[in-house]
Structure formats: C-alpha cells, structure tokens
Structure 1
Amino acid sequence: MEAAPDTPRRTRAALAEIPVRLERLLVTPLQPVTNTREVSPSLPPGYLSPAPSPDEFIIQQRGRKRLPTTWSPDIETKRDAAIHSTVRTPPKSPGRSSPIKVGVTLRSTPRKSLLGERKRIPLTPEKIDFSDISTPPKFKINSPAKGAGGALPIKRTRLDKTFDREFKAPLDIALKGLNTTQLIHLIKKVIQKHPEMEQEILQDMPAPDLTPCEEKLSYLTSNIFKSLPTSRLASKTDSRAYSRVAIHLSEFKKCLVKQGKLLVESQHWESVMKYVFLAWNYVRATPVWDNQPHNAQRKQCFKALTNFCLTALKKGEFSTDFYSDAQEKLHNMEADSEEIQTCLIYVNRQLLEY
C-alpha cells in the first residue's frame, strides 16, 4: 500500500541519542588515568594487576649503589687492598680439566723444577764436586778403591763367565741350542786350531736343504688364496679382492727375496738355480689382477728370481747336462716374464761353447 501524501515523515529516535554517547567517549589527553577502576568500575578486581607491596616501593626508592662523588684516599686504599687480598686463580695447564681448590699454592712450572733438580744428580764419581755444600748428602757417592795401577777394577758380569765343566750331553744334541751365527763362529774357531780340517769340511759339506724354503712359500701362498672372497657372485681379481690379499702378497714377496739372498750369499750356485725354478712356480700361481698396478709385486718377484738366476749362471760352474735342463725350463718360464730372456741367452751361449 502506498503511504498517504499528506502524512508527515518521522526520524529515528536512536539518532537523537548519539550526541549523548559521544560525550562519554571523549578523553582529555592532558589528564592521565591514575586508577583504571574509576574509569571502568564494571571490571572485576582480579582482572587488573594487583597493587605493588610496600617492600617493592622501598626497593624502587632505594635504587642502585653509587660511588661517592668526592674522592677519598682512604676509600681507594681499602678497595685496592680488598681486591689484592683475594686468591688469584693459577694458570690452567693444558689437558687438565679438574677444578683447582682455592687457597692451595701451585707451582707454575713443576716440570722445569724437577728437571733442574735432576741435573744436579751426579752420574759418575768423576763429576762429583765434594766441595759443593749445596749437594744433598744422599746424592754423594763414595769413590771405590782403585787398584794398584790406578784404574778402576772392571767387574766381570755373570754372562761373560765361561764354565770349565764339560757337557754331559752328546755333541749333536748340544749344537741344537746354538743359532746359525754361533755355529759359524764355533766352526771357524775349530778350523783356526786345525787348518787341515778346512778342506775336509768343504768336501763333506752337503747342499742346502730347500724343503723348509718350499714349506714357507707354500704356507704363504695358501694364505693368499684363503683371503680371496668365497662368494660366487664376487670377483676374485678386482680391486676389492686385492685389498684383502695385499698384506699376504707383501709377506710372500719378502720371504721369497730373503731366502734367495741367503742362498746367493752362501754361494751354493746349484741350489740357487733349484730355488729359482722352485719359487717361480709359486709366483706363477698367484692371482693376476684386473688392475695392472696391482700386479707390481708379482713382477718384482719375477725380477728378483731372474737376478738370482743370472748371478748363479755367471759365477757357478755347471755341466752340459745341467745347462740343457736349465734351457728347457727357461723356455717355459719365458711366457711369464720377458726378463728371463737374459738368462736364456746366457745358457745358449754356454752350450755353444761346449
């Protein structure tokens, strides 16, 4: 329905109340709010922070201590004396984390003081100065009585004494307790007393026994193969397998070279040739690695045996049958190392001369 045109238009009653409410919201900026409860009395008393206690007011009014504005020498002297009277912390030594007790006086350099005292200890009677009063009495050494010639008597140790009694055990059993050097000195001493026995000993001297050498090489070779991986999926010639066997290869090479040098120094040339043929087969049985630098020890073993063989061929005297047998063996060894060709050329030359 449309309103009648002559009806007067009415305003809202709520708009008339706005000026009254705006007067309540006005805040004067120059008048600080001292108590929030007076402005908003409807808030509960526990909502706002409680009033500070009387003790806090006293503490706030007390403030921090300040030095006197006027300088007094008495006050300054007392303060310096109080600072110097406290125990200073000694320097912390490196490697020591335990706390140091207050009141215990520690020496700054105990090691130096001990070394200084140790230098004063006389080691020999000649260095003692008995006129020095500072030398402690416990360090003074009485000089021993000198002999008729003026020299100090030399005390013979128990190890240097020789027993005059005879061995009840047989000679072969008594010699088992001696090492190689002692046996050599004993034989040389006997030959000096009886020079005619030297030729007889040389004629009856047997060839060196290579069985212990072969057993040692066989044992070290078995250690090499025991260290290889046993899984069928793992390679036995790669770098990972070599890392497990490297130490055993080094021991094998060391033993092989040591035994060969000992035979060369003894100048048993025929035994040296037999050892070369024997050890060559063990070196040939060692693994051939995929990475060529890992085969360096194998090549070094072949080179050492080649040098032993060439030295024995040049310094030894062999028969034609021995040269023929060596020629056939050297041909088989040529496939493992080309350096053996020098020995083969020398053997062929000796066969042509015969």
Structure 2
Amino acid sequence: MEDPTADNLRRRRAALAEIPARLDRLRMTPLQPVSVNTRMSPGIPSGYLSPAPSPEEQLIQQRGRKRIPANWSPDIDMKRNSTFHSAVRTPPREGTSRDSPPKLGVTLRSTPRKRLMLDNERVPLSPEKIDFSDLSTPQKFKIDNSPAKVTPPIKRCRLDKMLDPDYKGPIDTPLKGLSPTQLINMIKRITYKHPEIEDEIRQEMPQPDISPMEERLNYLKNNIFKSLPTSRLTSKTDSPAYSRVSTHLAAFKKCLIDQGKTLIESQHWESVLQYVFLAWSYVRATPIWDNQPHNACRKQCFKALFNFCATALKKGAFTQDVLIDIQDKLQSMESDSEDIRSSIKFVQGLLQTT
C-alpha cells in the first residue's frame, strides 16, 4: 500500500509548478500618458479636447482679473449703478406699447417702474374737458405727448370788498374780523376824504395795550420750563437739558424781538419803554446754563431790549418825573447787562438839561 504522505507531497509540487505561469498573466506595464488618436476616431473634431484660445480670451488673460480701485470715488460708483440700471429694464408686455392708449374696461398690470415712466409722460386732463356721461369712445382719453400748456393763475378774490349796505348791526362787530392792515387802510381813506376827522382821531387815539404781548411772552416762558427734565437725579441746567429747551428758547426770542419792532414802528415811545421793562423780567427768569455758549440766546434778548430802550430814549419826549422813574428801573437792570450803563448816563444827561 502507497504512503498517503508521499501522495500529498506530489500534489503540492504540481500546484506550485503552475504558479509562475499564472504570474506572467498578472504582470502590469507602467502607466503612460493617454494620447488621443484622431485617426481611430474620425468623428471627433481636432480642437474638441484642447481647443485653441480665441483672440478675445487671450486679451482677457493678458489683462488679468479686474481689481477694485484702492481709493473710493463716488463718481465711479454712480456711473456703475447708472450703467446697471440702464441695462436692466422691464421687458414690454406683448401686444402693448407705451404710446398706445389703454383700453377701457381692461386693467393692465405693470411694474411700478413702468407706471412711473408712463405717469411722467401723461398730460392730465382737466375735469371741464372730460364728458363723464359718455365713456364709450376711448379717443377722448387719448394721451398726448405734447408739452402741457401753462394753466392761467387763479383769480384772487378782492380783499377790499365793502360791507353789505343792508347790515344794520353795531359797527364794532364787523371791525373785530378785520386785520390791522385793513383797519389802517380804512382809516387812511376816511381821513383822506374828511381831513377834519384826523385831528379828532389823534386826540382819541389811546396808548397801545401791551397785555396781549405779555400773555404771549408768559406762554412761551412756561413752555421753556415745561420742557426741562423733572427728575431730581438729573440736572436742569446741563447740555442735555438745553437740547430739550433750545427750540422753545428760539421761539421766545423771536416773539420778544418781533413785538418790540412793532412798537418801534408805531413810535409809541412810552409804550416801548414799558414793554422793555416788562420783557426784561421775563428774560431774567429764563434758566442760566452751565455751558456759557448756551447762554447766547439770553444775551441776545437783553441786547435787543437795550436797543429798543436806547431808541425810545433818543426819539421820545418825556417829562422829568418819567425820566426819574426810568432811571430807577434802569439801575435795577444794570446787573443783568453792562450795556444799560450807557442808557443810565443818557437819562442822567436829560435830567440835567430839563
């Protein structure tokens, strides 16, 4: 009987002998670049895989990538934005044009930009030229691209229209509705027709009533104090508080100067001095701010009142008793403004001459 071990060895040797033959089949050649042979594929064009660059592409490659300028210029950005908006436009709707009139009964939807462009070219029709009773003909609403005609100015009503002659009520009732200019013109016409009445009017003319002026100043002064902060933890004279009150201070100064100019134009010199003394106390009651430049409005009010006082003293004629009273009041105002000293010296000179 044959040994099984020897049989196994023969089988192994036969299997190992076949290995070199199989290894030859598994050998690989080194990688080589793939070349496309156009002869093997005549259907592919010669420049398909590696096309030659066009002249435009060569210029772009030579130019390089576009860079943003280091210095910003608003003109460049404006030009770029205008170019972009001019290139991007809303395409027109098919079957319609800008010059064709809209059809009645049809609502066309368009973009806001297109509506704005159309509205700039339309000429509005006046209600008198449109017949709303007949809307069957679209030609009545045809848009005309001709420039719009200048409309004539509206005729104003005459302000000097006389009172109804049939009115039998008291004369003071219609006089309350007249403006100061109308009253002045009416009195001038009457005195021109009847010169003898002018002397009587001069004798009956009273001094101006400055109580409405005082009420106006008091109202504006209260607005100043109402605008101040109410908290105990915040200051009422610092810069934040001034920023809240600055508008009311400007209104107070404007009112004070306008009322003084009205009295100066009327040449009621005694009333001008009464207004100066009255308004001086209201200016003195305004807040004094921590920052000195914020007190400019206060100083300007004192300066305007001083000019009113100086003008009244130079052009007015006052008795000795009135001058003494004026001198006492001016001396109490000297601590607020140094300009008052010149007015005090002027009054003292008038007292010595009288």
| TM-score, length of structure 1 as denominator length | 0.62
Deviations 1:82-109 (A, max 9, x none): xxxxxxxxx9977x97664345444699
The one-letter code of the counterpart of 2:353 is E
Which residue of 2 is the match for residue 310 of structure 1?
310
Gaps of 5+ in 2: 1-15, 33-41, 49-82, 100-113, 124-143
Distance change >3 Å, CA 93–CA 233, structure 1 → 2: same
Which residue of 1 is the match for residue 231 of structure 2?
231
The 3-state SS of whatever aligns with 1:118 is: coil
Gaps of 5+ in 1: 1-16, 33-60, 68-90, 125-154
Which residue of 2 is the match for residue 191 of structure 1?
191
Distance change >3 Å, CA 173–CA 235, structure 1 → 2: same
Identical counterparts, % of pairs? 53
Deviations 1:180-230 (A, max 9, x none): 111111111111121111111111111111110111000000000000000
Which residue of 2 is the match for residue 138 of structure 1?
none
Matches within 5 A, 1:269-308: 269-308=269-308
Matches within 5 A, 1:109-188: 117-118=146-147, 162=162, 165-188=165-188
Q: Offset of 1:342 from its aligned partner? A: 1.7
Q: Offset of 1:248 from its aligned partner? A: 0.2
Which residue of 1 is the match for residue 5 of structure 2?
none
Distance change >3 Å, CA 197–CA 247, structure 1 → 2: same
Deviations 1:39-84 (A, max 9, x none): xxxxxxxxxxxxxxxxxxxxxx9989x99xxxxxxxxxxxxxxxxx
Q: Give the Cα separation in 2 of the matches to 1:122 and 1:266.
A: 43
Which stretch has the larger CA shift, 221-230 or 191-200? 191-200
Distance change >3 Å, CA 164–CA 322, structure 1 → 2: closer
The 3-state SS of whatever aligns with 1:289 is: coil
Q: Give the Cα separation in 2 of the matches to 1:195 and 1:225.
A: 51
Distance change >3 Å, CA 206–CA 24, structure 1 → 2: farther
The 3-state SS of whatever aligns with 1:199 is: helix
Distance change >3 Å, CA 103–CA 173, structure 1 → 2: closer
The one-letter code of the counterpart of 2:265 is E
Which residue of 1 is the match for residue 38 of structure 2?
none
Which residue of 2 is the match for residue 342 of structure 1?
342
Larger radius of gyration: 1
Which residue of 2 is the match for residue 215 of structure 1?
215
Q: Offset of 1:156 from its aligned partner? A: 11
Which of the residues 98, 101, 106 maps onto 2:93?
101
RMSD: 3.8
Distance change >3 Å, CA 98–CA 285, structure 1 → 2: farther
The one-letter code of the counterpart of 2:306 is T
Which residue of 2 is the match for residue 323 of structure 1?
323
The one-letter code of the counterpart of 1:101 is R
Which residue of 1 is the match for residue 7 of structure 2?
none
Q: Give the Cα separation in 2 of the matches to 1:123 and 1:328.
A: 64
Q: How many equivalent pairs are there?
A: 251
Q: Give the Cα separation in 2 of the matches to 1:156 and 1:336.
A: 51
Q: Give the Cα separation in 1 of the matches to 2:181 and 2:256.
A: 22
